[in-house]
Every structure is written in structure tokens, then in C-alpha cells.
Amino acid sequence: MNLLPLSDELLPAVQAFARENFGRNFILEPQFWKHWYHPPWSDSWNGRVLIDDNDQVQGVAMLVVVPAKFGNKNAHVAWFAPVAVSQKAQKVGAGAQLFFWAFRSLPLVGGISTNDLSAPISKLFGKRIGGIRMNRFISVHSADAKQIAPEASMVAVANAAKTKDVGPHSPLKADWHDKSLPDDYDDLWRRVRKNLDFTTDRTRDYMTWRYIDTPFQDYRLLSLRAKDNLKGMAVVRLQDTPQGQICRIVDVVAANKDATDVWRRLRVLLAEFGALYTDFFVIGNRFDSALEEAGFHLANEDSALGGLPHLFAPMEHRGWNGDFYMAGSLAKENDFWRDGETVFFSKGDADRDWPTQYDLDQRAIPV
């Protein structure tokens, strides 16, 4: 088996392999691949291909590579998205080459909520960050959310819906931005960035690429201001379902000192929109107390509230374990970043918020 970089020449064979091995929801549209696997900051395709002696594709590791802040360095973090190996190659352990290449050749390689197959491998090479996992927080806005909760969760959902008064109202003013970021966004990000050790570098260019230009997914951006001062930006996805509207806060940029006001305003605003509930997935603890003060509840899979569906299109609840691993040469050489207060990743990072087959069906996108 030979391991080759993904190239224009290999792309058709790799896409044919993806059609068979990446699962029925995987999107093969050229603009989707170009966007995610050949972003503006990459000179070439971000992927590696395992080729057998007959020039047949036997495995593929696709990587979403995004700019990151790592200590004082500007770096890139690569997220597996996804890795697949043919049964023939699996039998002789060829998939190891794909993982080993990534772990040893790249500076930062991440895995979120890894599955039963890849989790042991991530654990072997990556550093599991003590106490840091992908947590889910939920604010239930209406007792009607019970309709889509499993029976075991209904009481918890009803109780959470009673959480109305969560302290003083936020003084922040909210405005929607659909196609651009406000002019003063860069200053906000600079202020937030300086207190983080490890995070996706949420520059204007990155945010535009991720949330405005991303194909097949509609995000709405929300600015939160105190008078003229930008205190927070949130990226929101509102999803209509047969049971009602659900809201996901995909990303939030806010300084720690403003976080409680930002989260309180978000919660009230999204409740006013009529959403049954709002959730937010996050790695890192910096927003934990602000979320709780704003009326959000920790709702991981083992909790009653965690029974509320976390896939919205269509409504579905698949298992997830929230594990977070980071490997690669920079991660291995440094320990400073393993601090829950200064690491920050959200559902918008990696491939955690990609469109589903349902989303494509709504747009009549062929697959």
C-alpha cells in the first residue's frame, strides 16, 4: 500500500471510494469538497489516500484544516473528517498508515466525539485533556419540548422549562447580520483571543469562510452591543421541525467578563423567537458559569435533559461520548494548552455541524 496526498488526479477515484465508504449522508458535491478540503489557506487538497498495488483506492483520510491559535503561535489544526478504509485494507491493518501519517506529520490533529473505532487510536496518540470534553448545554424555552423528548426525559424537560427568571436582564442590544460581520468584529476577536491558549482563530476571514460562505448550511450571525461597544457575536442555526422550531448556538465570541450578559441576552432572544429549546456544544470551561447563570443546564448524554434530540434535520438522537483528543507534534511537545479555561472549541469547529441528507433534500441537491 502506498500513501499519497490527495490530488486533482486522484479526486474522482477518491470520490468514488467516498460514495461507497463514507456513509449515505456524505456530500459529494464539488463545491462542498472544495470548500472544506481545499480552503483558501491551503495550497493543496487536505487529504491522504491509501493506494494498493493495482492503483485502487483502499483508504482515505480527509482533513478539515483551519487556522488556530496555539499559545503564541499561529498554527493550523487538522480534524479527521472522516477516515475510511476498505474491508480488504482493514484486514491487514493498512488504516494504521493513515492515522500514523497524520499524527506524526501534522502539528495539531484533533478528534471530537470520536467513535468506537477511532477513539482507541486517538487515545493512543492523542492527549486526552483532563476534565475537558465536549459538553452540551440546553435552555428549554417551552414545556412543549416534552413532545420530542423520550419518556425518561419528560420530567426534566418540564422542570427546565420553568426556569424563567435568571437574574437581571441583559442590557445588551441584539442585531442580526446575515451576510457580513460588523466592522468592529476584529477588535472583539482580538480582545477575546489574547486570553485563549488554544482555539480556532476566529478572524474575520475564518468566520466569513465558516459561517457565511459555507455551502448548504444557513447560519445567522447576531451581534450584541452595549451602546456602541460590540460585546459579543453569536452564530445561530434555527431549524424548523414538524414539532416546532429548535435553535442551536453554533459559536459564540465574547470576553469572559461579558459572557453572562451575552448568554442571558441570547437565551431571552431565542425564547422570544419561539424556539422550543436552544443548545450549545462547547469544549472548554470558560463559559460554564455564565451559561448556568443565564439559565442553561449541562445536558450531556447521560443526563435526563440530554435526551432531547441533538440532530435536528431530521430530529434524531445518536450516541456521542464527547471525548476530545489532540495529537500531533506541537500538541505532544507542549502541555500549556491543557487548561479548560483557555481552550475553546465549539460545535462550529471541525465537521461537527455539517448538513445532513435532510438538509440537502430541502434544497433538492442531488447526491
Partner 1 sequence: MTRDHIILEFKTFLIDIIGADETLLTVDRDLLESNILDSYGILSMTVFMEEKFGITIIPEEMTLENYRSLANLTDLVLPKLADKEA
CA-closest candidate to residue 146, choices 165, 164, 160, 135? 160
Q: Is 99 in the site for partner 1 (CB under 8 A)?
A: yes
> Of the listed pieces 116-124, 166-174, 214-222, 309-317, which binds partner 1 according to CB under 8 A?
116-124
Strand partners, 311: 316
> Of the listed pieces 90-98, 266-274, 310-318, 321-329, which binds partner 1 according to CB under 8 A?
90-98
CB of residue 327 to partner 1, shortest distance in Å: 11
Phi-psi region of 229 (alpha: psi -120 to 50; beta: other; left: phi over 0): beta
Q: Do 264 and 166 touch, CB atoms closer than 8 A?
A: yes
Q: Is 325 in the site for partner 1 (CB under 8 A)?
A: no
Instruction: Output 97 or 139, the one with its CB closest to partner 1.
Output: 97
Please list the alpha-helical segments (H only) found in 54-179.
87-91, 95-105, 118-125, 154-161
What's the CA gap between 189 and 200, in Å, rounded?
11
Reading the block at residue 105, the C-alpha cell is 506529520
Q: Is 100 in the site for partner 1 (CB under 8 A)?
A: yes
CB of residue 47 to partner 1, shortest distance in Å: 15
Q: How many CB atoms lie within 10 A of CB 29?
A: 14
Residue type, 30: P
Q: Is 259 in the site for partner 1 (CB under 8 A)?
A: no
CB of residue 176 to partner 1, shortest distance in Å: 47
CB of residue 328 to partner 1, shortest distance in Å: 13
Q: Is 93 in the site for partner 1 (CB under 8 A)?
A: yes
Instruction: Output 16 or 124, the one with its CB closest to partner 1.
Output: 124
CB of residue 95 to partner 1, shortest distance in Å: 4
User: Which residues have CB under 8 Å from 364's CB, separation 6+?
Assistant: none
What's the CA gap between 205 and 11, in Å, rounded?
27
CB of residue 121 to partner 1, shortest distance in Å: 6
Instruction: Output 209 or 325, the one with its CB closest to partner 1.
Output: 325
Q: Is 85 in the site for partner 1 (CB under 8 A)?
A: yes
Q: Do 196 and 344 touch, CB atoms closer than 8 A?
A: yes
Count of chain residues binding partner 1 (CB under 8 A): 20
Residues that bind partner 1 (CB under 8 A): 1, 3, 85, 90-97, 99-101, 104-105, 120-121, 124-125
